[in-house]
Amino acid sequence: DQQVKQNSPSLSVQEGRISILNCDYTNSMFDYFLWYKKYPAEGPTFLISISSIKDKNEDGRFTVFLNKSAKHLSLHIVPSQPGDSAVYFCAARRTGTASKLTFGTGTRLQVTL
């Protein structure tokens, strides 16, 4: 049972344009969401997070939007840069399970010149 889903396995975007990565979840008990970036053979790097009491959080070029009614979140990267090419994972955490993260399957982002 995949509780966190990233339905697009890959995405290609031109440098300078906006990248939009999507994530859906099924468990309404999730109340904290995180995005990680991962290069091969390395650990995930934390990018940005959002609590369920908010619908938007910004950090530089990265913005995460949360639509609780649709159980959907998205990560916007503006402008996209070649160094952003990596696999992006969406993760969710449930109330009372502090550090247990449920991950999506990842979206490979390729930023082209």
Partner 1 sequence: KAGVTQTPRYLIKTRGQQVTLSCSPISGHRSVSWYQQTPGQGLQFLFEYFSETQRNKGNFPGRFSGRQFSNSRSEMNVSTLELGDSALYLCASSLGTTNGEAFFGQGTRLTVV
Applying CB under 8 A, the residues found at the interface with partner 1 are 32, 34, 36, 41-46, 49, 51, 89, 91, 95, 97-106
Q: In the bound complex, what is the minimum distance in angstroms from residue 14's beta carbon to partner 1?
A: 28
Of 10 and 46, CB closest to partner 1? 46
Q: In the bound complex, what is the minimum distance in angstroms from residue 28's beta carbon to partner 1?
A: 17
Of 71 and 94, CB closest to partner 1? 94
Of 15 and 105, CB closest to partner 1? 105
Q: In the bound complex, what is the minimum distance in angstroms from residue 27's beta carbon to partner 1?
A: 14
Q: In the bound complex, what is the minimum distance in angstroms from residue 41's beta carbon to partner 1?
A: 7
Contact 68, 83 (CB under 8 A): no
Of 32 and 65, CB closest to partner 1? 32
Contact 46, 62 (CB under 8 A): no
